[in-house]
Amino acid sequence: MIIIPTVLEKEWPKAEERLESVKDLTTWIQIDVTDGNLCFGKTFDLERLSKYSPNKEVLWDIHLMVKEPIKWLEKCIFVGASRVIGQVEMMTNREDFVSKLKDEGMEAGLAFDIDTEIDRIPKETDIILLMGRKLGFENYELDEKVFKNIEVAKRMGKTLAVDGGVNENNLEKLKKAGVDFIYSGRSFFKIYDF
């Protein structure tokens, strides 16, 4: 199981501070993007990421928690994303979203909030991301419903990830459930004392 740090920040200076603190610990970093439609609050302008220059290669994993994620793909291409994951709750066409990403040579993922039914996964999808709690800026605990969602998602035969509510107390249980990637924000920074 691989742990990938996430950056969910409203302002660029705080995001840059977080990026600086993890850039040498990992190859992948996930940037969470919200536009105020799917959940309360907006993150910094994604284009700012193009001006950030870590001293080594970093692979950007962009998690789009936005209305119509397909409309954000040009920005993801602009910042050099390697993987893009879109929340399905405000996505009109999953096939088009995944297909466009694959055409651009990027990994494509679909994300499901804790209460969203896990279904209609296009064949080319690389990764399924399950929210371990309600998405957004709030600091909720891991919702036990995620383990039922993991069981459903595992039958899809895709790489499986969980984001939200993950901490050192539930990592082992998630690993045993068959999760491939853990995305961790606040807990990652607490574990490494940032």
What pLDDT does 194 receive? Answer: 35
Please give the backbone phi and psi of residue 78, each rounded to the nearest 5 degrees, phi first: -60, -40
Which residue(s) pair with 162 in the sheet? 130, 182
Low-confidence residues of the chain: pLDDT under 50: 191-194
Q: Decide: 189 and 18 in contact? Cβ < 8 Å.
A: yes
**Pairing, β 2-7 against β 181-184:** parallel
CATH number, position 115:
3.20.20.70
Q: Is 24 exposed, middle or buried (CB count within 10 Å of its CB: 0-12, 13-18, 19+)?
A: exposed
What long-range pairs does 52-59 form, CB within 8 A, spacing at least 24? Answer: 52/16, 52/19, 54/19, 54/23, 55/23, 55/24, 56/23, 56/24, 57/27, 58/23, 58/26, 58/27, 58/28, 58/29, 59/27, 59/28, 59/29, 59/83
0.85 surpassed by pTM = yes
Residue 192 pLDDT: 46
The domain in which residue 37 lies consists of 2-191
Q: What is the pLDDT of residues 85-136, one digit of tens each?
A: 999 999 999 999 999 999 999 999 999 999 999 999 999 999 999 999 988 7
Question: Contact 127/154 with Cβ under 8 angstroms?
Answer: no
Tell me, what DSSP letter sits at residue 52? Answer: -
Q: How many domains does the chain have?
A: 1
Q: Is 67 helix (H, G, I), strand (E, B) or coil?
A: coil
Provide the pLDDT for residue 186.
63
Contact between 63 and 183 under an 8 Å Cβ cutoff? The reply is yes
